[in-house]
Structure 1
Amino acid sequence: MTDARIPIRRALLSVSDKTGVADLARRLSAAGVELVSTGGTARLLRDEGLAVRDVSDLTGFPEVMDGRVKTLHPGVHGGLLADRSKPEHLSAMEAHGIAPIDLLVVNLYPFERALASGADDATMVENIDIGGPAMIRAAAKNHALVAVVTDPEDYEVILGAIGNGGTSLEERRRLAGIAYGRTAQYDQMIATWFAKQAGEAPRRIGMAGRLAQTLRYGENPHQDAAAYTDGTNRPGVLTAEQVQGKALSYNNLNDTDAAYELVAELPRDRAAVAIIKHANPCGAAVGATIAEAYEAALRCDPVSAFGGIVALNRPLDGPTAEMITGIFTEVVIAPGADEAARAAFAKKKNLRLLVTDALPDPDQHGMLLKPIAGGFLFQDKDTRRVSADELKVVTKRQPTDEEMADLLFAFTIAKHVKSNAIVYAKNGSTVGVGAGQMSRLDSTRIAAIKSEDAALASKLKEPLVKGSVVASDAFFPFADGLLAAAAAGATAVIQPGGSIRDDEVIEAADKEGLAMVFTGVRHFRH
């Protein structure tokens, strides 16, 4: 296999995403390349005034079955797969009237987009491309002679090759690798969808994503890292516009995602803010305005908020931006930002501002993969949410309406805290968070201690945890954690229940005069 350049004399173009294809075709045609195309792509090119040969001219067979069968023919695959260095292949081409194809430009039916839109089964099936992957794989296999392009961003490679004697082996080999990566991703998404339809785990699974950016390093400088998109275009850190600031790091991306997913789950009828540090919330609140919510969220743990990530569920305004710049903040993400906010942030060149067009849908399903020795674990994303009518009051005292609202708020936050998780909340704001401890009792105590520290920092007369409610992501295995929360000043408790010692814990709550509700839902987060 030599590194000789292969001139492009005939190109087959058949694309679903028509971005840039007309310009590519125009440049190819101007260079004397014969254009062959199908369906909508052919119509588009003809509308552009270009001479286009229908693929049926190559095959001698019309497109049939609503376009399901058009390129699955020796006239196409022979032109892509023929090894022109072999006399027997050349003889077969001549005998059967098969014309060589030097360039294949194909992208696939938008299965990912249909999946993200929640399309019905019939629509999903119609968005499974058959001829496209077959042609891509054929051309990529024969990359010694054929160039294959599956992505508009690689059109520049072809445009550069036109005036340079054709494509090089190095270019064709690289494009072949990209092509096989695309078909692997495509098939993986389809296989996973079929498994979900069958209500079972996929028998075989792999990663499906597209490189978004190569990162300087991972969690630590000695680790390589990159970020990939999954094709769903879900609103969030990877689809946001970065208005200003230096490139995002691995940890920035991870923490910003955690912040935006949390704030998206808070009530949409109120302004909400979440402040994240090392993937855990150090403050979250709802309020009448974004500024009010930010002030309350920051009050929970102003020390930990230093160097943190801030997520908002409303567009960022000037007054809130000025407040945020009062302490060192790494990233702010919001569904919009007004001019006053942008001007305030412009004074802080290293502060990253990310703007999206929407909040992520907390009910949208996804899959989570965790590598372990010899393989990996697979699970659905935790989209379970608890409503007031699901709660079971298990104590003599009923929670007040205000306590009930705070209990639901605190339990939502606890879902986003690393286990063992304890969250104290009051008036729609976190006032103490204990995360990631081996003992739930320790998490309870740490959250109370941090509330005391925050009170000192804000020069309050008493910790905000006094008169708060407390949420636990899993059951209290003993009464000690609940008693520690009561000692800290909590008046009501929300927890999943389900411990063999539930009766002891309920009895302890009654003795302390606490109201307690069971959710029947656990939210471990490891």
Structure 2
Amino acid sequence: MARLRVAAALEDERKRDLELQQNGGPSTSSINKSCSSSVYGHGSPAFEKNSSCGRHCHHSHLDDGLCGRFMRRKLLGQHANNSLGRQNDPYDSYRLNGNSNAVIEDGNEADLYSLQMDMPIKVLNGSPGYINILDGLNAWQLVSELAEATGQPAAASFKHVSPAGAAIGVPLNDTEAQSLMVADLSIDPRRPSLASALARARGADRMSCFGDFIALSQKCDEITARLISREISDGVIAPDYDDQALSMLAKKKNGNYIILRIDPKNLPAEDEVRTIFGLKLKQKRNAAALSTDSFTDVAVGDGGEITAETVDDLLVACVAVKYTQSDAVCFAYRGQVIGMGAGQQSRLNCTRLAGEKAANWWLRQHPRILSLPWRANVRRAEKANIIDAIVAGIRVDDTSSMSLLQPNSIAKNAATEATERQWNNYFATSVKALKGKERMFGAKFVVTPSGGANDDEVCEACEHNDMVLVHTTQRSTLR
């Protein structure tokens, strides 16, 4: 375990400290010497007077790594948490899972800082880990941008810093509700809802979303919390929670379920900085927002085929790709991701992976799958595992798996018996389209950045396969 320090440092204090240094003020080493507890004993008037050095150092040396925490511990010792704790300080401190190979000692803890007046996130329950924070912040960006672009509630399921699924709240039909295992919930089938968005997002790839981190674009209501409460998930981030929803979620995982609240009005700085092997990399944050106007450059096909529903699906695919580790390919249909290929070195393998997941999504709606005769009290995760094996063409005849089904039932391979249908799903990629090969997965619309060396070949392939190709000027490459 490591400890993550979530700190909000006041900007005016930072500026004051910089001015002090520029005017020849004391360095961190001189502060250490002059305020050391070896000079001023703990509890002495002199120490109490100078203990503010620790506070000031913590505010002003965020860019210098661990100086602030070192000084605070040296000066305040066992009183550090009381003096700079949650009640009287603008900081919140939480225990997190960090690098398991790190030696836990002074100067070897994970830290997250913000130079804003207030920390934009608040831990309401649980102890988030390093990856939890990464998943939560990236997932929040996805759902907030998607909700803004479509005007509908949005949800995302993140796993290992990429979305396993993302969706807007398109109402569920009966088949979808049954396939997504939410037919027993009172989700309104007539209007968009947050619960529909979450059911779609987590139903995109039930294998990958196991133990995910969830993001919601709006206040979590009771029915959405009920949906979350019965899934295997590590945490959730949302702008707010109903009292009933918060109470329900706080009981999950024996009271350890991670619940984060984020300020939806928070606007981060333009620059993003990361440190790799001691070197700092800085670039402008990808703040380019997608909208309905992003798909007007139709390079191939009839632009009249692009309906309002099509635009929503294209937005889902493109926004999801924006927050997916490159190379990334996404299939979307009816307001949700149905196949995501993430973090692959080969574009071809990336497309295959996304296409296979999309095929899996379709086959899970096959009547033979929906009518599998489960025994009573079979867990949802067990159902998902067996269904995934069946639609992938894997024989399910081992004793442990068959024991979950009613006696004398035969779990046939639905993939070989599925009737052929036209799949009007939609395809988006963060790299160049693969010369129209996506048609093998039933893609009808392709969105890809223009300006590539193979643009002419891609256009010819789309014409040959009767696909609509839309060019965008935005290229999203997430590393």
For the superposition of Structure 1 and Structure 2, which TM-score range results when normalised by the shorter chain?
A: 0.5 to 0.7
CA contact (8 A) 2:445 2:468 kept: yes
**Secondary structure of the structure 2 residue equivalent to 1:498:** coil
- Specify whether residues 356 and 146 from structure 1 end up closer, same or farther in structure 2 by C-alpha distance, changes over 3 A only: same
Q: Which has the higher contact order (CA 8 A, sep 6+)?
A: 2
Q: Is 1:272 matched with 2:179?
A: no
**Secondary structure of the structure 1 residue equivalent to 2:275:** strand
Q: Residue 167 of structure 1: which of 23, 35, 46 is its match?
A: 46
Q: Deviations over 1:423-477 (max 9, x none)?
A: 111121111100011111111110111223344555366899921111111223x
Q: Is 1:228 matched with 2:103?
A: no
Runs of at least 5 residues in structure 2 that lack an aligned partner in the other structure: 1-8, 66-89, 170-191, 371-417
Q: Residue 351 of structure 1: which of 237, 248, 257 is its match?
A: 257
Q: Is 1:427 matched with 2:306?
A: no
CA contact (8 A) 2:168 2:316 kept: no
Give the TM-score normalised by structure 2: 0.66
Q: Distance in 2 between matches of 1:406 and 1:133?
A: 53
1:377 Cα deviation from its structure 2 partner: 2.2
**Secondary structure of the structure 2 residue equivalent to 1:509:** helix
Q: What residue identity is the alignment partner of 2:116?
A: T
Name which of structure 1's ranges 420-429 and 129-138 shifts more when overlaid on structure 2. Answer: 129-138
1:182 Cα deviation from its structure 2 partner: 3.7
Aligned to 1:446: 353
Q: Deviations over 1:82-126 (max 9, x none)?
A: xxxxxxxxxxxxxxxxxxxxxxxxx976388xxxxxxxxxxxxxx
- 1:107-506, aligned counterparts within 5 Å? 110=12, 137-138=25-26, 143=31, 164-168=43-47, 172=50, 176=53, 179-180=56-57, 182-185=59-62, 213=93, 215-222=95-102, 224-232=108-116, 239-245=120-126, 247-268=127-148, 269-287=151-169, 288-348=192-252, 349-358=255-264, 360-361=266-267, 364-373=268-277, 375-391=279-295, 392-398=297-303, 399-401=305-307, 402-457=309-364, 459=369, 466-476=423-433, 478-479=434-435, 482-483=436-437, 485-506=438-459
Q: What residue identity is the alignment partner of 1:227?
A: D
1:335 Cα deviation from its structure 2 partner: 1.1
CA contact (8 A) 1:254 1:279 kept: yes
Name the Cα RMSD after superposition: 3.6
CA contact (8 A) 1:211 1:228 kept: no
Asked which structure has the greater CA Rg, the reply is 1
Q: Deviations over 1:465-506 (max 9, x none)?
A: 921111111223x41xx31x2111111010002221111110
Q: What residue identity is the alignment partner of 1:380?
A: K
**Secondary structure of the structure 2 residue equivalent to 1:319:** helix
Q: Residue 516 of structure 1: which of 469, 475, 479 is its match?
A: 469
CA contact (8 A) 2:462 2:469 kept: yes
Give the TM-score normalised by structure 1: 0.61
Q: Distance in 1 between matches of 2:422 and 2:98?
A: 37
CA contact (8 A) 1:136 1:179 kept: no
Q: What residue identity is the alignment partner of 1:469?
A: Y
1:374 Cα deviation from its structure 2 partner: 6.3
**Secondary structure of the structure 1 residue equivalent to 2:147:** coil
Q: What number of residue pairs does the alignment pair up?
A: 361
Name which of structure 1's ranges 383-392 and 279-288 shifts more when overlaid on structure 2. Answer: 383-392
Runs of at least 5 residues in structure 1 that lack an aligned partner in the other structure: 1-106, 113-126, 149-157, 189-209
- Specify whether residues 511 and 221 from structure 1 end up closer, same or farther in structure 2 by C-alpha distance, changes over 3 A only: same
- Specify whether residues 487 and 301 from structure 1 end up closer, same or farther in structure 2 by C-alpha distance, changes over 3 A only: same
Q: What residue identity is the alignment partner of 1:231?
A: L
Q: Distance in 1 between matches of 2:215 and 2:223?
A: 16
CA contact (8 A) 1:335 1:359 kept: no
Name which of structure 1's ranges 372-381 and 137-146 shifts more when overlaid on structure 2. Answer: 137-146
Q: Distance in 2 between matches of 1:260 and 1:389?
A: 23
**Secondary structure of the structure 1 residue equivalent to 2:207:** coil
Percent of aligned pairs with the same residue?
27
1:412 Cα deviation from its structure 2 partner: 1.2
Q: What residue identity is the alignment partner of 2:12?
A: P
Q: What residue identity is the alignment partner of 1:351?
A: Y
Q: Distance in 2 between matches of 1:443 and 1:211?
A: 42
1:524 Cα deviation from its structure 2 partner: 0.7
Name which of structure 1's ranges 507-516 and 338-347 shifts more when overlaid on structure 2. Answer: 338-347
Q: What residue identity is the alignment partner of 1:396?
A: G
Q: Distance in 1 between matches of 2:458 and 2:11?
A: 56
- Specify whether residues 275 and 469 from structure 1 end up closer, same or farther in structure 2 by C-alpha distance, changes over 3 A only: same
Aligned to 2:399: none
Q: Deviations over 1:365-385 (max 9, x none)?
A: 433334345623221111122
Q: Distance in 2 between matches of 1:454 and 1:219?
A: 35
1:404 Cα deviation from its structure 2 partner: 2.7
